[in-house]
Amino acid sequence: MTIRRAKWADLHRVLEIERSVFGRESYSSATFLAHALRDWKGFFVAETEEGEITGYVLVRLAFGLLTGRRGGITSIAVAAPHQRRGIGRRLLLHSLEYLRGRRAEEVDLEVGIANEPAQSLYQSLGFVRDRTLPHYYGQDKHGVRMVRALGETAAEGREGERKGRLSGRADPARHD
Q: Tens of pLDDT along 72-81?
A: 999 999 999 9
Residue 146, sorted as left (phi over 0), alpha (psi -120 to 50) or beta, turns out to be beta
Q: Other C-beta atoms within 10 Å of 36: how many? A: 20
| Mean pLDDT value of segment 66-76 | 86
Closest to 74 in 3D by CA, of 120, 160, 6, 9:
6
Q: Tens of pLDDT along 48-58?
A: 999 999 999 99
pLDDT above 90 covers what percent of the chain? 72
What is the structure's pLDDT at 49? Answer: 95
Cα torsion angle, 115, 121, 123, 125, sign: negative
Q: Other C-beta atoms within 10 Å of 10: how many? A: 18
What is the structure's pLDDT at 59? Answer: 96
Q: Where are the domains of the chain?
A: 2-163
Residues 6+ apart with CB under 8 A from 43: 5, 6, 36, 56, 57, 58, 59
**pLDDT class for 67, splitting at 50, 70, 90?**
low
pTM of this structure: 0.82
DSSP bridge pairs for 156: none
Alpha-carbon distance of 32 to 15, in angstroms, equals 8
Q: Tens of pLDDT along 3-23?
A: 999 999 999 999 999 999 999
Q: Other C-beta atoms within 10 Å of 43: how many? A: 24
What is the structure's pLDDT at 94? Answer: 97
Alpha-carbon distance of 103 to 88, in angstroms, equals 22
Q: Hey, is 62 helix, strand or coil?
A: strand
Closest to 9 in 3D by CA, of 47, 35, 42:
47
**pLDDT class for 171, splitting at 50, 70, 90?**
very low
pLDDT at 164 over 70: no
Rounded mean pLDDT of the chain? Answer: 85
Closest to 41 in 3D by CA, of 94, 14, 5:
5
What is the structure's pLDDT at 66? Answer: 62
Residues 6+ apart with CB under 8 A from 137: 25, 112, 143, 176
Domain 2-163, what fold?
Answer: Aminopeptidase (3.40.630)
Q: Tens of pLDDT along 88-141?
A: 999 999 999 999 999 999 999 999 999 999 999 999 999 999 999 988 888 888
What is the structure's pLDDT at 138? Answer: 81
